[in-house]
A and B are shown apart, each in its own frame.
Chain A
Amino acid sequence: KAGVTQTPRYLIKTRGQQVTLSCSPISGHRSVSWYQQTPGQGLQFLFEYFSETQRNKGNFPGRFSGRQFSNSRSEMNVSTLELGDSALYLCASRPTSGVLPAGEQYFGPGTRLTVT
């Protein structure tokens, strides 16, 4: 099976712009989670989508949003970019047990976002 894929791998944006990142989960996985990784903070949970519905949300401002499509692919959008949004954005998918996501997460390689 192909792993989790993320596009683009690298992105440079200017303050005030917006950005959209994409994540394709492992085939059959319906849960996609998004994380922000920075050197000082480690991994911070952004949100999780399952069956096109947001199921969990971390403590990030409303500038961070996401969605999931019927094929389980997910996008994350950040509006009005700030310098502090520079980070590695990781997505992870996990399998389903019954009607809920379960099991360990499988991570993509990440999108490195630099805001100048």
Chain B
Amino acid sequence: AQSVAQPEDQVNVAEGNPLTVKCTYSVSGNPYLFWYVQYPNRGLQFLLKYITGDNLVKGSYGFEAEFNKSQTSFHLKKPSALVSDSALYFCAVRDKSDTSGTYKYIFGTGTRLKVLA
């Protein structure tokens, strides 16, 4: 079965420093990978996705993610963290399609990012 793992419950980083939020995946076939962010009292917002092509994917708010097939990872990165980046981040993988041709998403347990001023 497809799955994603976010090994860190929380990541702390100083403002201005680079940040990395880790995600590893387990899929059969080609992975479709996503990152979402959740701010307090809000739903999830789409950040970026990897379907195919370049291993470095650029997304919203200056975030990017690096797809590494050999390490089965899809880590989220940002060169310079802002206090306003503090939020809950979710990695997700698209599951295999079923007989109806549709598919569902499987989410990780989330990583809380705290950017310290």
Q: Is B110 an interface residue (CB 8 A)?
A: yes
CB of A101 to closest CB in B, whole Å: 6
For chain B residues 27-75, which have a beta carbon within 8 Å of chain A? Answer: 34, 36, 41-46, 49
For chain A residues 38-74, which have a beta carbon within 8 Å of chain B? Answer: 40-43, 45, 48, 50, 55-56, 58
CB of B3 to closest CB in A, whole Å: 12
Complex interface: chain B residues within 8 A of A45 (CB): 104-107
Closest 6 CB pairs of A and B: A107-B43, A42-B109, A43-B107, A107-B44, A55-B102, A56-B104
Contact between B45 and A107 (Cβ–Cβ < 8 Å)? yes
Complex interface: chain A residues within 8 A of B100 (CB): 55-56
Interface residues on B, range: 20 to 34
Complex interface: chain A residues within 8 A of B103 (CB): 56
A-B contact count (CB 8 A): 55
CB of B6 to closest CB in A, whole Å: 8
Least CB separation from B36: chain A residue: A107
Least CB separation from B92: chain A residue: A43
Contact between A56 and B98 (Cβ–Cβ < 8 Å)? yes
CB of B112 to closest CB in A, whole Å: 10
B63-106 contact mask (Cβ, 8 Å, vs A): 1 or 0? 00000000000000000000000000010000000101111111
Complex interface: chain A residues within 8 A of B98 (CB): 55-56
Least CB separation from B91: chain A residue: A42
* Known contacts A41-B109, A42-B108, A42-B110; A101/B102 CB under 8 A: yes
Least CB separation from A107: chain B residue: B43
A24 and B44 CA atoms in complex are apart in Å by 16
* Known contacts A33-B104, A56-B104; A90/B90 CB under 8 A: no
